[in-house]
Structure 1
Amino acid sequence: MNKKIFYTIIAIIIAISFYLKSEIKESVLFSFNFIKEEIISSYDIVKFELSSYFNQVKQIQTLTKNNKMYRDYIESIYPIISNYKKLKNFQIVNNPKIVFAETISYANLPDITSIYVNYSDKKLSHPKGIIYNKEVAGIVTKSYNSYSLALLNTNPNTSYTVFIGKDKIPGIAFGGEELIVKYIPNYKKINIGDLVVTSGLDRIFYEGVKVGKITSIIQRKLYQEAIIKPFYNPYYPTFFYVVNN
């Protein structure tokens, strides 16, 4: 082989090698740039996802906190709402002799015949009547700083004077499991079904507040007694009027 052909072959090999080296370099750079872009893109995606996740966690925590706050608030006002639903059945009475009062709690559980009401009279010297829907509910017997003790008709220590029927036959009503009127004069005629109202003579009630109706009559030697079916239901003590004057 002559030298000219040999040198020509060498030159071709060198040229080919240089060209291939350039192509490999570009391929490597392209691959590196592609991988770099993918890594950056993946990092951005992961960063966005993490940011979204932590934002969602924070939002969930905030919503959970608010939900608990609202739930606690609803639970706190529910008894008030439930209680005031009963107010729609409460009759408004325009009478300057009475003042509005609300039950605070039972006074001595398991006894449910005595309650505390948000009424106070530091000068209370004798019982005052309590009225629900123009019906006798019981009496206030003791006053404290900002509330008073009230005895319902079902309490055995409750008593007040009454009139029976159209002839206003006098008697004294006593509370307990049965509401009973005692000391009714024997010479006065009373009947089952007669209406019993307060007399006002004891200054506990004013005259004419409805108590109930006679369901049975008991004859004694010196006087009569009458069992009364009261109008007031003592199992739902909520709102009252107190005879204040």
Structure 2
Amino acid sequence: MELLAAYAPWQIGAALVAALGSAYVRGLTGFGMAILLVPILALALPPVEAVLLANFLSLFIGLSEAKRLVRGAEKTAWRIAGLVVLFTPLGLYGLSVTSADLARFLIAMIALSAFLAVLLPKRSGAEPGAVATGGVGVLSGLMTGYAGMPGPPVVPYYVGRDIPRETAKTSMMLIFTIASFAGLVSGAALGLLAWRLPLLAALLFPAVLIGNRLGDLSSGKIGDTLWRAAVGVILGGAALAALVRLV
């Protein structure tokens, strides 16, 4: 517990509330945990710590659902995840040399970009070409490292297509789990990983489990149209909240 003494009680409390709420959204929509969690954590913690803490929590919850994700994900998820692993270190390095204020601003802009992207017209369920899939992987890797948010390119790639909801959810979750692992490995390699972070993540994880379970139960009670509307509302709310906090 001495390692956690570096955090004030209000910081831990804010992290608990953010973890519970963002995990509920993950269970409901298949994404959104990092998009909601990182901007809030970055107000209470240094941005690098906020990103790495979100990576720990995303990895923990993803591993708890590994069988479901591997079984249900689309093949494109593996290709995107491979590119995420390659490009995450570059994004994390960029974050490490950016001032805290600028990093918070850019993280807010990334959250806004996710909302705008999901408003694009819905496409067919056919798998996009190699260029589009590769572009999503590269951008997602850079955003994983810089903001702990692989979602902005990934969410419209799956949610914007006419594919089963479970396929979209498990594909996104698989990518996010692998992305979080890549972020942690990159952080350790760059000497940015403080050992108190996994302890704080372990403290927050029960809240993540509870929130994720509640969100998953809620997801089973709503139709696809309402689910897609929830995706847009959540992304828009996250972007607005991040911008308001900057002001």
Q: TM-score range by the shorter chain?
A: under 0.3
**Larger Rg computed on CA atoms:** 1
More helix by share: 2
TM-score (normalizing by structure 2) = 0.24
Q: Which has the higher contact order (CA 8 A, sep 6+)?
A: 2
